[in-house]
A and B are shown apart, each in its own frame.
Chain A
Amino acid sequence: MKLTLNNFDEETKNVKKNNKNWIKVGLSTCGIAAGADVAFATIKKVLQENGSDVEVIRTGCAGKCYAEPLVEVKIEGMPQVVYGNVNEEVATKIVQKHVMGKQLINDHIYLVKDA
């Protein structure tokens, strides 16, 4: 459906509804070079193994180059955090401990959002 000046507001009003719970992985050249594609695949796989419906979203670079790969996690009722240096092991932990176990993870939090 093509947008026009007339239908723009109506057509774009509900264009995108994010899942209540989501995980964003920074997949730009910088993140991928640091292994973000591995983190992305691991998170998807482990979520599936756990039967979780948390949405995994690809994003661009969030800016904290020193901590790539970066993964942001929003689970309802919990602080929204950005994890850094997320290798395969940490990616697995993010799903098992944060998403399923509802606990934050040590040594990898680089930012807490909307605290």
Chain B
Amino acid sequence: MWKYKKVILVKDTDTGKETVRFSELFNSALRDRGLDGEVQVIRSADINVYNQGIVVKIIPGNITYSKVEEKDIDLIVRKSIKKEEALKEIQIDPKDKQVRIVLRNCGIIDPENINDYISVDGYKGLKKVLEQNDRDKVIAEIKISGLRGRGGGGFPTWMKWSFAKDQKNDTKFIICNADEGDPGAYMDRSVLEGDPHSVLEGMIIAGFAVGAKKGYFYIRAEYPLAIARVELAIKQAREKGLLGNNILGTQFSFDLEVRLGAGAFVCGEETALIASIEGKRGCPSPRPPYPSISGLWGKPTVINNVETLANISPIMHKGGEWFAEIGTERSKGTKVFALTGKVENSSLIEVPMGITLKEIIYEIGGGVLNNKKIKAVQTGGPSGGVIPEEYFDTSIDYESLQNLGSIMGSGGMIVMDEDDCMVDIAKFYLKFCVDESCGKCAPCRIGGKQMLELLTEISEGKATFEQVDKLKLISKAMQKASLCGLGQTAPNPVLSTLKYFEQEYVDHIKDKKCVSGKCEALFIYEIIQDKCKRCSLCQRNCPVEAIPGDRDKGYAIDQKKCIKCGKCFEVCKFEAVNR
């Protein structure tokens, strides 16, 4: 038996500094009333409510109080501990903003045991599909659900399936695109590692719906654990009769194979991915024809992203209408995001479509790291853009994000603060696309390189406003004339930073200044002698010994040695280091 009857969780959700003191206060209040043997006071590491002062949660009963003050403690003990009453004035009802469909089993089941998946309604969607034995019905159900491609494009899934189904061809293919490559994105990896069978089941159902007998998992080779778990899942599914010939004893046969991607970002583009599976160099080819008509080895092929496929089984099992109730009018269901960057709680989250960035950052993410000032959020990786703080109330769905000049993307969400320079960010993403361009078409190959050179000139303070005009001009050409999504969307980070943070470009060009302190050519670190207290902290923290001097003579930065890492700036307690 549990040693206690109740537990009081305590957490200072502002600075964390008062957690210890308040938990002691609760302890002594309990001792005063002789309750310390019945109630355990626990300093909670996270109480899932943020910036609400001292937060206290009583379990069982789950009564939560926010902004608790010292004077409330005795009353809480008397009312909510001795009796079961709640103090209405400070009570809050924190709701979990997350809805888990894709991640329903991640962290819950053993991904290496098929029985674990079966015990949580696994393969029931497939069973229902095969019992009904009606391909049109499957596609109709997906249509009702309103599911759209989660790889970023947002194309209606039912339509893709329907095109492939209508092709009269004995050989068709299903491909799972697990070539996740956006910087900072790891949604697909987590699903494959945490619940591989959910993706398998989605592929088998897709195979039945379009009339395919064979499917490929295209996984990047940098995901060894995901590959191992998918291969194990395939083996276990075969043993159970869920994959291979005569699935579940029916006439339907379907099998799966894993193909590894060698780490080329462009292979996430569907035509390049197909070329890669065919053993050719991973270069895109013009569409149409779309893969649903003529894809792998010229056969009708459905390519879906990992997250899209993980949605299929619950839709089949619970019905399209259930799914369509979640989300907004045109974007149904949920979206998984990898929330990273300058946010307190870097996490993998799944939220209903229509939620706002504000809710994600402050209510799930716990706010900005180190209480710095937030500048923007980047979504959609190298194909997306930045969204400034003014738009954090915008509903998250395919259309609204696009209207803001960004995209939903596959789910990377990077929080940026005052220390992030927007010119530098644009340069980073563009460099990524230049490195990853396959070189097949000129707009992407040459345009990207030219844009990067222009941006580099801006970041080094060597540019005029003419360079900005050129950036815009090349952007247009790349968007219109590039062969695939990589080149078409590569200018997005540049255009969106230009749109929302034009002043930063002006600073770099006109004043030759980078206020965020990222563009190295545009600033130096200096010690302001009047402010310096000669504490030697900067000297001790400098990684390259670029701050000679001693406590008598004072300190100065040797600019020749300085690598502009900013350590001295960070550690100085007297704001004596200038940038």
A residues with CB within 8 A of B: 2-6, 8, 12, 15-16, 24, 26, 28-30, 32, 57-67, 70, 72, 75, 77-79, 84-85, 101-112, 115
> Complex Cα distance A30/B226, Å?
12
Nearest chain B residue, comparing its CB with the CB of A78: B2
Among A3, A64, A102, A103, the most chain B Cβ lie within 10 Å of the Cβ of: A3
Given contacts A12-B123, A60-B106, 12 further A-B contacts (CB under 8 A): A3-B242, A4-B248, A24-B107, A28-B190, A28-B194, A29-B193, A59-B108, A65-B340, A65-B348, A85-B45, A102-B3, A115-B60
> Complex Cα distance A103/B190, Å?
32
Within 8 Å of chain A (Cβ to Cβ): is B4? yes
Tell me the smallest distance from the CB of B112 to a CB of chain A, in Å: 7
Tell me the dominant secondary structure on chain A's binding face: loop
- Report chain A residues within 8 Å CB of B110: 57-59
A66 in complex: contacting residue of B115, B127, B194, B347, CB < 8 Å: B347
CB–CB B115/A15 < 8 A: yes
Chain B contact-residue range equals: 35 or more
As a 0/1 sequence over residues 125 to 153 of chain B, the CB contacts with chain A under 8 angstroms (1 = contact) are 00100110000000000000000000000
CB–CB A104/B42 < 8 A: yes
Tell me the smallest distance from the CB of A29 to a CB of chain B, in Å: 5
Among B45, B112, B131, B242, the most chain A Cβ lie within 10 Å of the Cβ of: B45
> Do A111 and B48 contact each other (CB < 8 Å), given the known contacts A3-B248, A60-B106?
yes
Nearest chain A residue, comparing its CB with the CB of B63: A115
> Complex Cα distance A16/B3, Å?
30
> Do A103 and B3 contact each other (CB < 8 Å), given the known contacts A59-B109, A63-B107?
yes
Tell me the smallest distance from the CB of B526 to a CB of chain A, in Å: 35
B residues with CB within 8 A of A: 1-4, 7, 9, 40, 42-46, 48, 57, 59-62, 103, 105-113, 115-116, 118-119, 123, 127, 130-131, 186, 189-190, 193-195, 223, 225-226, 239-242, 248-250, 340, 344-350
- Report chain A residues within 8 Å CB of B250: 5
Tell me the smallest distance from the CB of B35 to a CB of chain A, in Å: 16
CB–CB B248/A8 < 8 A: yes
- Report chain A residues within 8 Å CB of B130: 5
> Do A4 and B115 contact each other (CB < 8 Å), given the known contacts A79-B59, A101-B3?
no
| 21 pairs of residues in contact across A and B, judged by CB atoms under 8 Å | A2-B239, A3-B123, A5-B130, A15-B118, A16-B118, A29-B189, A29-B223, A57-B110, A58-B111, A59-B194, A60-B106, A60-B194, A63-B103, A63-B350, A65-B347, A66-B347, A85-B45, A109-B42, A111-B48, A112-B59, A115-B59
